[in-house]
Structures are given as C-alpha cells and as structure tokens.
Structure 1
Amino acid sequence: MFFTKVVSDSKKSEVNMKFFSVLIVAVFLVALPCHGSEYQVFPLQMKTGSNEQYSTQVSCTSWRLGVEANNLIKWKTVPAACQEYVADYLLGDQYRSDSKTVCREAYFYAKRLNITAKDVFVFDIDDTTLSNLQYFANHGFGVEAHNATAFKIWVSFGEAFALPETLVLYNKLVSLGIKVVFITERPVDLKDVTISNLKEVGFHTWEKLIARDPAIYSGKLSNAFKTSERKKLVAEGYRIVGNIGDQWSDIVGEKKGFRTFKLPNPLYYD
C-alpha cells in the first residue's frame, strides 16, 4: 500500500512538472510574435490620409463594398467624389478579376450537377452579359442621373461588347449541356438588336431570350418582372439550376434558382 502511494505521488509530480513545462513553452510562443515579428498589431484607427482624414480611395472602396453587399440600397448616383475611383476600378484589372472569381465559382458549382434536359441557367444581359461601359464612360461613370432615353439610344446601336469572363462561363455551361435563358429589362422593341449584338460578340445559342413587355409589366419593379418570368419557366417544366446577374433584383424573389451569383457593378442600383 505504501509503495503504491509513493509511486502514485511520484507520477503526479512528474505529470505536474510536464504540465508546467508545456505551459511555459506555450506562453513563450504566444509572446514571441510581439517581440520578434515584423508585424505589430495596434488598435484600429480611422486615420488614413493626411491630417487624420479619410482618403477618397479608402472611403470609396468602403462605399463600393456596401453597394455590392446590398447594404447601401436605393441610391441614385455614384458619389461625385468617387467618380475617378469607379472609373479606375472598371478600367483597371480589379473589375475583371472580381468578375472572374464569380464566374469561376459558378462553373465549379455547375460542373458538379447531374444535368437533365430541362436544366437552365438564367443570365441577365445588361452589364452581366453585354457591357455598357462605353455608355457610362461618356456619362460620368454613374455620377450623372440615369437618362432612360439616352440609354435606349445607346442600346439600339447594338455595339456593346461581351463581358469576357461571362462569355467564358457561358461557353463552359453550354459545353456541360446546360441550356441558357436570358431575362432582360430591355423592352421587346429592342429584342432583335439585342439578339444581333449577342451573336456578334459570341453568344450564339440559348433556350429563350425574354425581354420586358411594357404592356404586361408597366409600372412593375425589375424583381417583380424577373420573378414572374422565372415562375413561367418553372411552370413549363424547366429546372433553374443557376442564376447570374449584376443587380440584386436579378437574383432575388421566388424561383431564383438553386444558386445565385452576383457580379460586381458600382455604376447604378436597380
């Protein structure tokens, strides 16, 4: 009995010493970055420019994040102070890189599906499939209030170019056997020029192209129109496996699809 107790106490002492040693090492490792690392963490401070003022670059980046996350809603125009920032974003590498990230994820998702003959992927057109960047470059990159007449004239020219990453996604989806359906806010009287524009820039085949009929949807919001048309697709037996657009109104509401994908667009809010 005595021998057993001595051995037991000895083991307890050994365990305690090991625990103490491990604790010392852990404390040392936690403290080490504070002394040896080139990175030092300070309390976050909102002082990004000269004289402790926000820089326009930082504040406009935050504004764009709010827009893309749909935290900023019902705004009418890009803030005047952010015109150059928006222009730089759209004309630089970041816009295409952001678009590529979205389209790549859409493809990775789609290629895991068990495709059926009635599977469709819904695409918006304006600034999802066809780019209106030239129009907005001539109208203040979103700083000017929207002019529906001027925009319709631009669309009627049929000169929009394909958004390259969307075109890549489109071709990959078609190769997987997924049918494409376009649903666009463009009115039916611009449907023919839209079809010609799409085919000219590489979108050669689709299951349906649905334009907005003012006689049916006059006064209705974009999301109401698109939701209604998606319901019709489902009623016809289609399965909406995916949905991609540059506006939140493209990808909200009923029958929006199994997965939705939001492309970047800081130019306007629909």
Structure 2
Amino acid sequence: MAFLRYAMFLCLVSMVFCQENMDVEFDLLPRPLIIEYPETRFKNMTEELLMQCTSWRVAVESNNLGPWITIPTECADYVEEYMSGRAYDFDLQTVSKEARVYAKSLELGDDGMDAWVFDVDETLLSNLPYYSDHGFGLEVFDCAQFDRWVVEGVAPVIKPSLKLYEEVSSLGFKIMLLTGRSEDKRNATATNLINAGIDEWDKLILRSESDQGKSAVAFKSEKRKEITDEGYRIIGNYGDQWSDLVGTSVASRSFKLSNPMYHIP
C-alpha cells in the first residue's frame, strides 16, 4: 500500500512538472486570437493629443468646422498615418458598400434618365502621391503646383470607388463626372480616368472660364441644376467634400468620403 501511495505521488509530481513545461512551451507559441499590428506614429502621441486629433477629424467629416486652410500642425503625424494606413481604406470601403447597397435597392425608370454624380479628386482618383510630398495637407495649397501634378495624369484610382462606378454603370445609371478642375485640364483628366479604369461616362463637367471664382457649392449646384433641367434625376451623389454634395439640386441620397487633408468651401 505504501508503495502504491508513493507511485501515485510520483505520478502526480510528473503530471505537474509536465503541465508546467507545457505552459512554458505554450507561451512560446503564437496566439492566433491576438492580432499584432506594426508600430505606428501614434506611439509618439500622448493619449490627450490623439483624442484631440481624432476629434478634429470627426468634426471635419461631419462638417462642423468652419473653412480651414491647413491641417493642425500637431496632427500632422496623425493625418499621415490615417491616410497612409488601413483605416482610410476601410472607411472608403464602408461608404462604397453602402452606396452599392442603395443603388441596387432602386428600381430605375424606363426612360434612362436616372443619374449618378461622381466627384473626381479624392473620390475617383487619389492624389495621395502628391499630398505625401506636401505634408498630407500640412502645407498651404499651391494651385500651380497641383495643376502640374494633374497634367501628368498619373493619379491612381480609388478602388472602392471604382467598384461603385462599375456597379452603378452596370445597373443603367447615367454617369455624370462633376469636378472643380478647370476646362483646360479636360484631356489630362479624361486620359487619367480612362487609364485608371473609369472609361465611360455620359458627362464630364469641369470649370469653364465663366465658372472661375465661384465657390464649389455654387459651381456644383449650378451644374447639377443644368443636369436636372435636361430631365435627368440625380439619384446618387458621391464626393469627398461637403461642397460636392450640398447646395441646390441635390441628389436623392449623397455619400461623403473621408478626407481630412483639405477643405473646399
């Protein structure tokens, strides 16, 4: 009996020892439920500053801030990290998905006069390669410098927007591209769009000489009115600035893409 108790004791000790070893080995293995992301610039920001910059971006996107010229200096790293990281892409995908769900839920008229309006910059085409060289909105906007970039015609497509464009095109919407770019950039803009996969549209509307000096809200409202005066129904509108979407002759439903880099009144 004593021998049996001793044997059981050794067995228990062995099990504990093995369990301890297993625990140690388990700790050395990857934990599949823990997702580790690369370090970001946010690690250099205090919690208070991070909250302030996040609050500032939310206020920008909800149109609660007045006209502003540049992003806050103290939020430069925050904006760069957001625009260059996964969060911006997730936000674009979310809006694109919601717009596609809306578009597919509609029954279009038989007359072919249902239209969808798209902005161009930071909506269909991304100027991130340009803004990455100019502080992601930290520098005061230089029109001449930006125009040289536009003429190059190399802006990449925003993929979630391309997906929406393809969806509404296949559904039978008339595609109206309405941009604040000047008329003299028509060829460069059209070529860039085609090379990026936006290869068909019904109208490409740019600022004529008589439109210079008008606010974006006034210019785009006037052009939307011209569209509706022709008998079109603007069912959807998709842009990165509130000035793309508000004013008069607005769409049945508008979709705002994120853009904390600049503000166009």
Q: Do both proteins adopt the same fold according to a TM-score greater than 0.5, normalized to the shorter chain? A: yes
Say whether 1:89 aligns with 2:82: yes
Paired position in structure 2 for 1:165: 160
In the alignment, what sits opposite 1:64?
A: 57
Residues 1:199 and 2:175 aligned together = no
Could you tell me which of 181, 184, 191 is aligned with 2:179?
184
Q: Equivalent residue for 2:71?
A: 78
Structure 2 residue matching 1:55: 3-state secondary structure: helix
1:103 counterpart letter in structure 2: S
2:116 to 95, 116, 121: 121
| Aligned partners of 1:121 and 1:240 also within 8 Å | yes
Who is 1:102 aligned against? 95
Q: Say whether residues 1:257 and 2:255 are aligned partners.
A: no
Question: How many angstroms apart in 2 are the aligned matches of 1:261 and 1:178?
Answer: 16
Q: Partner letter of residue 228 of structure 1? A: E
Number of matched pairs:
219
- RMSD (Å) for aligned C-alpha atoms: 1.4
In 2: Cα distance, 1:54 partner to 1:107 partner: 36
Q: Matched residues, percent identical?
A: 44
> Which of 211, 214, 221 is the matching residue for 1:227?
221
CA distance in 1, matches of 2:80, 2:252: 34
CA distance in structure 2 between the aligned counterparts of 1:179 and 1:107, rounded to whole angstroms: 15
Q: CA deviation at 1:165?
A: 0.5
Measured in 2, the distance between the counterparts of 1:208 and 1:220 equals 20
Structure 2 stretches of 5 or more lacking a match? 1-42
* Residue-by-residue CA offset, 1:182-230 (whole Å, 9 max, x unaligned): 000000000111000000010011110000112x112210110000000
TM normalised by structure 1 equals 0.79
Contact 1:60 1:82 in 2 (8 A): yes
Structure 2 distance, partners of 1:169, 1:203, is 11
Shift of 1:142: 0.4
Show the counterpart of 1:42: none
Q: Residue 245 of structure 1 corresponds to which residue in structure 2? A: 239
**CA distance, structure 2, for counterparts of residue 217 and residue 81 of structure 1:** 36
In 2, Cα distance between equivalents of 1:249 and 1:229:
13
Please say if residues 73 and 269 of structure 1, whose CA atoms lie closer than 8 Å, have aligned partners that are also in contact: no
Equivalent-residue separation in structure 1 for 2:163 and 2:212 (angstroms): 34
* 1:20-49 superposed Cα distances (whole Å, 9 cap, x missing partner): xxxxxxxxxxxxxxxxxxxxxxxxxxxxx9
Q: Distance in 2 between matches of 1:179 and 1:170?
A: 11
